Amino acid sequence: MTPTTHWLSGQERLFYSFNLDDHIPANHLLRSIDQCLDLSDLRHHLADFYSPIGRPSIDPELMIRRSAPALCVNTLRHLMRRPWPKRY
């Protein structure tokens, strides 16, 4: 095998098809959040708070989508630790 042939055969492995939907189960927390969370107008409402000059800021939709799962999990943990009233 020549060096060129080896390089070409290794190059094929760099390109592959990946579908995220195939790897996230249907009952996953992220799918539930995605169905309930509508952030389509968020950029429009926050546009006045972002400067047109300087470094680009973090996308507000992405920031909320990345924070939402942690918020849900922490809220559930808090509720689980909370003492529940006794029912008689």
State pLDDT tens for residues 2-29.
555 555 555 555 666 778 788 888 888 8
* In-domain check, residue 53: yes
| Domain residue limits at 72 | 25-81
Task: Render pLDDT for 19-68 as a digit per residue (tens, 0 to 9).
Answer: 878 888 888 888 888 888 888 898 889 888 888 888 888 888 888 888 88
Question: Quick one: pLDDT at residue 68?
Answer: 86
* In-domain check, residue 74: yes
Number of domains the chain is built from: 1
If you count DSSP H runs as helices and E runs as strands, how many of each does the chain have, helices first?
Answer: 4, 0
Q: Return all residues near 61 (Cβ < 8 A) that are at least 6 apart.
A: 39, 42, 43
Q: At 23, phi and psi to the nearest 5?
A: -110, -10
* In-domain check, residue 38: yes
* In-domain check, residue 69: yes
* In-domain check, residue 58: yes
Question: In 1-88, at which residue ranges do the beta strands (DSSP E only) sit?
Answer: none
Count the alpha carbons within 13 Å of 1 in the hemisphere toward its beta carbon: 8
* In-domain check, residue 9: no
* In-domain check, residue 52: yes
* In-domain check, residue 42: yes
